[in-house]
Structure 1
């Protein structure tokens, strides 16, 4: 049968194990790490885009709040509105300019980016000053209609190029309808112009892969990372990058993907929108660089490990072959061959141990097995010889008959109880009883003790009916109760000794609890007695029970003591629950 086995050296197996248990898991870990890391880095990129969108939106909302407050302050200025709406046909307007100039200058100083504040009115008597006031016939731009449609709210009009200091500079205009339907006609529109470059600086980002746009309601670029886009239509500017119609403006804050780009939008005040566009390649660049580094380290590690495995495998195989040869000699019964490994590592220790094992194995196994069998057999037989005198039962029967003939009824009851005790305990040589028989055995013993001690002993029973059918070793209860009487009566100073016997089932175990109210023991004495019982050095009764339980059921079962000085003593016996007749321990070798 051995000749049919295919030979495979340890070195080849080591290489195979390396591939299966080392290289393949390494590749799996690499792939898992790569994809997890890529996912994490992608999520970081997505989070960065969302944060940029959120940040730009928050900045624009703060910007809008500031200018809305400025515009509202003008709207709420009673004197400004009174001057604009006054009829100057029959009155002078000299007092108007100082007030308006002072009020508007204060607002401009509070917001340096504000470059112009203008009022457009249908009031034909309001004089133009070329600075603040404009007539109706100059309102030719589309922003005027936006102010009308906004129904009193401040809206962004758009971007206007205005030449100042010899060059064109873009401005963002915001408009608000000041009064309307006064005497059946519109009266005034306020326009505030802000330097658009300052708004671009507000959202500027050095990351070139991430472009930001602030758009008006009609798609006009109000601010951008690239200032050349100001005032242009966003759809035209981005036609080569994204499909404008596919942008879902109804989900602000959601990440959208189109071709090579990611996009996030955010709604702002004054009907403005923020659009952030990021290049996918830039977002994933860090993930790709990390993957390349991991791949390089993986390859380097795999090559170095493979070389080490080959060198070690060759040396390991040679040494193992010598041990294999020695094992073959040992299997053939040749105990004279020694490996004689000179090294002091694990293989050398294995070789030395094999040499020792070869010399001692047969003797140790045989001697130990026989010794344990003899010891176990002698112990259990000795225990039962102490409590199993057959001749006594026959003698007691004779004495009982004689006491009846002579009329001594009390002696007859006592001898009869003793005879019943030995009848049950002998049980035709069997060591296993039912729990019910064990309890009856104890009751017979207590009849005898009642004759001896009269009313100095009181015993009660709490036996679970379901436990009566279970099987147990005989003479578990009587030695413990005898021990309680022996020490309880002696040290109880004439008081009645109360003994309670309880049998119950719990967690597939049967527990026998014998509790008395004797004098009890100090903790130190209790520990000494328990240790003596566990080591087999205790008194006959308790030691006997503990040894027999461990021999029959196993070392995890046995007897446990609890006691407190002046309170009493409790003995707890635990055995496994057995329904049918259990086999007695066979202590004789086959």
Structure 2
């Protein structure tokens, strides 16, 4: 049975369909989530702001209550005042204590920001005289009084008090409820017996203490009031009385939260009470409709824009792929000169550049592979030629002849032995890769001959790391720099050389340093120039051999200062030497 040919669907259509699916799914999901989260966020943000406002109101209430508490604390902790109020005094002493200490202390305690605060101190000691003011004539003066306990001992509110050392209570007593006030009650202690000796009563107007509860910070539809820990209504601002039906149970002294209102409750630190706010849920949700409409509108606009963008992008990618396919077909057919047009600055441009580079590289490698092999062979032949330097050999033989005529048999013997060792090492087995130790021996043999010829005017120091001796080295790369130093750097009666070999990270380093004439920067540049003519042939030869063997990142570096000397550094990778027999 013949199989049906698959339907050909262009890449542009596939991209467009995939883009639409990728766009529609997240937009619908994100739009729905955005709507729900926006409504929730709006409500949470509104609630958070309201909570901050209620917390600030409670903080302001605490700030005012602290003044009352602090003033009574000063009286409560004053042991001198306690002794004066519990002791027996008569005559001038009684008058002096009353006028110079007791009354000033009471006046100072009553000196609060609210002039309507009333301080009343009740004492059990009948020896202490009473002091009080005329309520109708008091005006704006600080209101403080000193009474005997028999004035309140029979009051119901006093008999219900359970004060003891260290205790206190906030309570509406006497006429406080009628006057919209509240009193802070503390016992007066006889510090000699630690028994109760009276009562400190600080009465403050609740309109002053809870003034922030009537400021309307929470909006026109909110209700703000103060309740005790037993949920009994203590204070409600006058601005809330426009809706008395919202507090149906307030007449009995207790409140109950309506179902249609959200409640925020913040305790007051210095009083057993809390600031309570009721906010209608409708005010929290009134922006939900607007948020929904805006969200739907944004989603629709986004879908249209993304559809247009998807259409443009699918066409762009389709054209880019077509260009790439055309270039690959030409490459497949062997046309390595074909290049892909590169436009823009994106991944397709990078693909085009990479493709063009690849084609150029392949073409260049095809053209250069034979050239590289020829250059390597030619370099090896040049090295062998430099090893058999006739000039060096003629000079050495002349020195040998002169020594023979002069009868310097010992020197003659040393020169011949060093010369034989030099050529034995350089010509041994014809290997191009030798151990570092053998390369150092070649340079050492050459220097031995030169020291004998120059009557020890050449001073050589070796700084060789033992661990590098068994590493491999390209053959005959050290001796040419030693020879250059003796031929071109020597300008005084003597010359000093330092030869170093050491590892540096994953690399191996040879150094030849002299104290000779030095070179100018221009000359160094000419020597290392690949196309340099006439000078630096031996140095470039060594540099090219190292790079042919190990790569372009290795080779020769020259550091020189005119009149101070020259430092030659040869760098190549650390590799353990293996002879041809070992490799086989």
TM over 0.5: yes
Residue in 2 that maps onto 1:549: 546
User: What is aligned with 2:187?
Assistant: 177
Mapping 1:69-84, distance limit 5 Å: 69-71=70-72
**Which residue is equivalent to 1:189?**
199
Following the alignment from structure 2 to structure 1, what is the Cα–Cα distance between the partners of residues 478 and 337?
57
CA contact (8 A) 1:460 1:500 kept: yes
Cα distance in structure 1, aligned partners of 2:116 and 2:187: 19
Report if aligned partners of 1:158, 1:222 keep a CA contact under 8 Å in 2: no
The farther-off stretch of 58-67 and 48-57 is: 48-57
Aligned residues: 537
Displacement of 1:54 in angstroms is 5.3
In structure 1, distance between residues paired with 2:299 and 2:574: 59
Superposition deviation, residue 294 in structure 1: 6.5
Q: For the Cα contact (< 8 Å) 1:509–1:576, is it kept in 2? A: yes
Of the candidates 570, 578, 582, which is equivalent to residue 581 of structure 1?
Answer: 578
Assess if the C-alpha contact under 8 Å between 2:176 and 2:182 holds in 1. no
2:533 is aligned with 1:533: no
Deviations 1:506-527 (A, max 9, x none): 2121111112222434xxx135
How big is the shift at 1:240? 6.0
Tell me the residue number matched to 1:114. Answer: 116
The equivalent residue for 2:140 is: none
Question: Is residue 2:151 matched to residue 1:155?
Answer: no
* Aligned CA distance change for structure 1 residues 534 and 73 (closer, same or farther; 3 Å): same
> Residues of 1 paired with 2:72 and 2:118: CA distance?
12
- Listed one character per residue, the Cα deviations across residues 479-514 of structure 1 (whole Å, up to 9, x for unaligned) are 11111222332x2x21x3121111111212111111
Equivalent of 1:200 in 210, 231, 245: 210
Which of 490, 495, 498 aligns to 2:496? It is 498
**Range with bigger deviation, 443-452 or 531-540:** 531-540
Equivalent position of 1:18 in the other structure: 19
Distance 1:335 1:542 in 2: 37
Q: From the superposition, tell whether residues 281 and 554 of structure 1 become closer, same or farther in structure 2 (CA, over 3 Å).
A: farther
User: What SS is found at the alignment partner of 2:572?
Assistant: strand
Q: TM-score with structure 2 length normalisation?
A: 0.68
Give the Å deviation of 1:193: 2.6
Corresponding residue of 2:255: 237
How many angstroms does 1:172 deviate by? 1.7
Aligned match of 2:475: 474
Deviation at 1:149, TM superposition (A): 1.4
- The answer to whether the 8 A contact 2:65-2:209 is kept is no
Q: Is the CA contact (8 Å cut-off) linking 2:50 and 2:218 kept in structure 1?
A: no
Contact kept, 8 Å, 2:508 with 2:572, in 1: the verdict is yes
SS of the residue aligned with 1:581? coil
Cα deviation, residue 336, structure 1: 13
Q: Which residue of 2 aligns with 1:510?
A: 508
CA deviation map 1:195-238 (0-9, x unaligned): 21222223455225987665556554545676888997999535
Is residue 442 of structure 1 aligned with residue 443 of structure 2? yes
Shift of residue 474, structure 1, vs aligned partner: 0.7
Distance 1:185 1:5, change over 3 A: closer
Cα deviation digits, residues 240-272 of structure 1 (max 9, x gap): 679xxxxxxxxxxxxxxxx97676546x23555
Q: CA deviation at 1:469?
A: 0.9
Match of 1:587 in 2: none
Give the secondary structure class of the aligned counterpart of 1:560: strand
Cα distance change of structure 1 residues 320 and 213 upon mapping to structure 2, 3 Å threshold: same
Contact 1:462 1:502 in 2 (8 A): yes
Stretch deviating more after TM superposition (569-578 or 372-381): 372-381
Matches within 5 A, 1:223-234: 223=235
Q: 1:113 to 1:285 in 2, by over 3 A?
A: farther
Conservation of the 8 A alpha-carbon contact between 1:15 and 1:310: yes
Q: Is the 8 A contact 1:219 1:234 kept in 2?
A: no
* Offset, 1:553: 0.7
Query: What pairs up with 1:366-385 in 2 under 5 angstroms?
Result: 368-369=367-368, 372-373=371-372, 376-377=375-376, 379-385=378-384
Partners of 2:248 and 2:197 lie apart in 1 by 31
2:482, 2:131 → 1: CA distance?
125
Q: Which residue of 1 aligns with 2:138?
A: none
Secondary structure of 2:202's partner?
strand
Shift of 1:152: 6.0
CA contact (8 A) 2:83 2:190 kept: no
Q: What runs of 5+ residues in structure 1 fail to find an aligned partner?
A: 243-258, 584-590
Change (3 A) 1:535 1:66: same
Contact kept in structure 2, 1:530 and 1:560, CA below 8 Å? no
User: Residue 418 of structure 2: SS of its match in structure 1?
Assistant: helix
Do the aligned partners of 1:262 and 1:277 also contact (CA within 8 Å) in 2?
yes
Q: Once the 2 structures are TM-superposed, how far is the Cα of residue 388 of structure 1 from its aligned partner? A: 4.2
SS of residue matched to 1:510: strand
Write the distance in 1 (CA, Å) between the matches of 2:102 and 2:451: 124
- CA distance in 2 between counterparts of 1:36 and 1:335 reads 58
Alignment of 1:126-525 (within 5 A): 135-136=150-151, 140-142=155-157, 145-146=160-161, 148-151=162-165, 155-158=169-172, 170-178=180-188, 188-203=198-213, 204=215, 206-208=217-219, 216=228, 220-223=232-235, 237-238=255-256, 265=267, 268-269=269-270, 297=298, 299-310=300-311, 313-314=314-315, 317=318, 324=325, 328=329, 331=332, 365=364, 368-369=367-368, 372-373=371-372, 376-377=375-376, 379-389=378-388, 410-489=411-490, 491=491, 493-494=492-493, 496-521=494-519, 525=520
Residue pair 2:20, 2:310 contacting (<8 A) in 1 also: no
Q: Distance in 2 between matches of 1:389 and 1:5?
A: 74
Q: Normalization by structure 1: what TM-score?
A: 0.67
Rate the CA distance shift 1:413–1:316 in 2: closer, same or farther, 3 A: closer
More deviation, 406-415/27-36: 27-36
Name whichever of 539-548 and 232-241 sits farther off. Answer: 232-241
In structure 2, how many angstroms separate the alpha carbons of the residues matched to 1:362 and 1:74?
98
Cα 1:181–1:142, aligned 2, differ >3 Å: closer, same or farther?
A: farther
What CA distance in whole angstroms lies between the structure 2 residues aligned with 1:394 and 1:200?
115
